[in-house]
Chain A
């Protein structure tokens, strides 16, 4: 359990610094199980900051989304830093962005939170349907203590955590300036069980499964917008000349979009699961991401978002890369 007072103090101290523009963190949402990102521009703003297992969003998108309007004559660029509150997985996204030189390490102040697992919003909504006003969720060893409208319930963590937390290898942020609380060591190991099981199916069965999934897609691009690593100024699907992927929603274009999205995250996806969380049609996008993650670990012994000094996977090579598929 994270000490919220410690978090608030850390945020307050960070915003008070002269070289920090603002800090992004979580605050209580307006209803139900929601939490929303919030910004602290002044030291007083730090009072609304919280951290609970309901804080699922990955905030590392925010330093990337920072708008930089053209400067007026005589105006100087705002070189101040941005503070971000990150969990273990989110910090890997920041490392990955720094590795790709999308972001300067000096431009962010990272407030790390050792995370013991968050709650999957879809799972908890299924458990407590209907309109709920008051909610409190606490973290207790291997249980979540959920208080809904005055009634307290203890639920085993295994029931509520998303798949990514089940195999999380980095609960403590990889990179941080300030750490709230103590470091946690993970005893979990990524075993890619789902991927391995699926691989054993025949090509026909695989396609039947994915055809159904891709057919559901409404191409809202929520997966792209929520992804901390999809930060291209212009995405390839928005391009009109040449227009690689048409805008019509049908199986062909949906498949192309989903395959290309997965490919563009090859060696970059850090497995925060934002795409799947944001998907309104419940397409298991993480399965594609995990498959690629597993393959690059096998083929190139590479893991994304761990080492900011390394070169990006597809921008480097080794002379003895696997080439058994080449004629």
Chain B
């Protein structure tokens, strides 16, 4: 029997907006795909590209980074800096032949539970179409 591919997505959500948005989606009982594994970070600016590449190495099929809307960052400028970083990283991944849609970024505020569910749905569907990430997955052989 061929098992259906279920994407494995790592979500780095910022403590102040996106994580609260995800929380709201949960408390309002909105349904969204269970493929997203959330890691809470204090700010989207905390997300080092090393995290993203490491996640892809360790078997994630995609990475979603959630931050506050521009201008709403709790630390004033963290999400702006993250935006620049991810723009460069995405271009680099695209150039080496890894679909840049595997790394997504989104702005979700604490009041946008519905938007959060929609974003997760969209990302999951996109990555389902792309298939498993097999470019440089780490083989855990010692």
Residues of A within 8 A of B (CB): 195, 198-199, 203-211, 214, 236, 244, 246, 250-253, 255-256, 259-260, 262-263, 266-267, 288, 291-292, 295-296, 299-300, 313-315, 317, 319, 321-323, 325-327
Contact = CB atoms under 8 A, between A and B. Distances in A.
Contacts, number: 113
B80 A199 contact: no
Contacts of A208: 97
B113 to A, nearest CB: 15
A119 B14 CA distance: 50
Interface in B123-142: 123, 135-139
Given A319-B70, A327-B105, A255 B135 contact: yes
Contact of B136 (A203, A209, A255, A321): A255
Given A253-B138, A327-B105, A327-B123, A321 B80 contact: yes
Interface residues of B, number: 40
Contact of B95 (A252, A288, A317): A288
Nearest to A246: B138
A214 B49 CA distance: 19
B30 interface: no
B97 A204 contact: yes
A275 B130 CA distance: 33
Nearest to A207: B97
Contacts of A327: 104-107, 119, 122-123
A317 B77 contact: yes
B100 A291 contact: no
A326 B119 CA distance: 10
B10 to A, nearest CB: 15
Contacts of B122: 327
A291 to B, nearest CB: 5
B102 to A, nearest CB: 11
A296 B88 contact: yes
B84 A313 contact: yes
B89 interface: yes
A256 B57 contact: yes
Interface string B64-100: 0000001100000100110111111111111111111
B53 interface: yes
A321 B87 contact: yes
B31 interface: no
B1 interface: no
Contacts of B119: 327
A313 B83 CA distance: 12
A263 B92 contact: yes
A317 B80 contact: yes
Contacts of A326: 83, 105-107
16 contacts: A208-B97, A211-B135, A214-B136, A252-B139, A299-B88, A300-B84, A314-B88, A315-B81, A319-B70, A319-B71, A323-B70, A323-B83, A325-B86, A325-B105, A327-B106, A327-B119
